[in-house]
Amino acid sequence: MTNRQVLSRLYLTLVPFLAAAIALGLGHSKPQLYLPIWLANVALMAIAIWVMGKNCFTNPDPDQRQLGSIALLVITPWIGFTVFAGMGPPPTSIPEWVNTASEQQIRYALLIAGGILITAGLTLLANKLRQSGEKQYWLLGVLALGIALPLFIANMAYWGSFLGESFTNFSAASIAKRPDWYLSVRALFSWISGVEVALLYLATAAFGLALQAASWFKSKACRFYVLFSLVGSLLSVLPSSSFEPIVIATYLVSIPAFPFIMPYLMALNLLNLANRIPSKSR
């Protein structure tokens, strides 16, 4: 890799973690402040992606270009996700939610679109792994994604549409006590969220094992993907606990964009592999 490619990969690797740290550390900012910064990051990410993948994207070999397209499908949603750094975490009170209703709709619309693109990219990756002779784990990954995606879309629609409309109506009607139907729906989507997040992590673990079995990536990297994903899956379904570190960890792994961090890192690795050692990725 050239120095520009090394710097580009380093920047792209840090992006999800920096965005999460800013969002959790600083909270909500004014759009006039965070949108220009986000646009600057969009430009930097686009440049870094081109520097990393130029040889792959423009290669006359269709197999190599397909690997570049797969990586691009998984990486691109994070260009949109980084705007959450300025939006901060979802509001914790009804007035804050009502006041930022448009931002919340944008947040969850981006997550739905990103989830669909990432699922498409991983499904194409599964097909490449099948063609390479990997016969077990890619199928488990596709099955888990096939179940998780509809649940993910429903969960994001609940947060982006149902909650916003409900809170607006509650505020307008000055309802002090939440209706029974609202509490029932909230409990239902708490279960849906846990299952959906666990399946996304399990799908990532399956792809990590498939990439290792196909010898596309180093075993150390694959073990990291698998271990992190399995821990995330376990934490996402743990019952409520008074043990503060577990509560915090469960909250973090369940943040909607977080299950897509490992696929994003896989895609960066895949793009790097496609540039360096195309013969191993066919």
Nearest Cα residue to 270 out of 99, 63, 95, 88 = 63
Query: pLDDT confidence of 276, banded at 50, 70, 90?
Result: low
Largest CA distance in the chain: 65
Q: What is the mean pLDDT of residues 133-154?
A: 92
Per-residue pLDDT, 61: 83
Statement: residue 177 has pLDDT above 90: no
- CA dist 116 and 32 (Å) reads 29
Percentage of the residues of the chain whose pLDDT score is greater than 70: 94
Amino acid in position 248 = I
Q: What is the pLDDT of residues 41-61, one digit of tens each?
A: 999 999 999 999 888 888 888
Mean pLDDT estimate for the chain: 89
Statement: residue 164 has pLDDT above 90: no
With contact defined as beta carbons under 8 Å apart, do 269 and 217 qualify?
yes
Statement: residue 279 has pLDDT above 60: no
Report domain extents, the chain.
Answer: 3-281
Per-residue pLDDT, 240: 66
Per-residue pLDDT, 281: 41
Per-residue pLDDT, 261: 96
Statement: residue 169 has pLDDT above 90: no
Nearest Cα residue to 214 out of 151, 280, 143 = 280
Q: What is the pLDDT of residues 9-30, one digit of tens each?
A: 999 999 999 999 999 999 999 9
Statement: residue 157 has pLDDT above 50: yes
Per-residue pLDDT, 133: 82
Statement: residue 278 has pLDDT above 50: no
Q: What is the mean pLDDT of residues 175-204?
A: 87
Tell me the whole-structure pTM to 2 decimals: 0.91
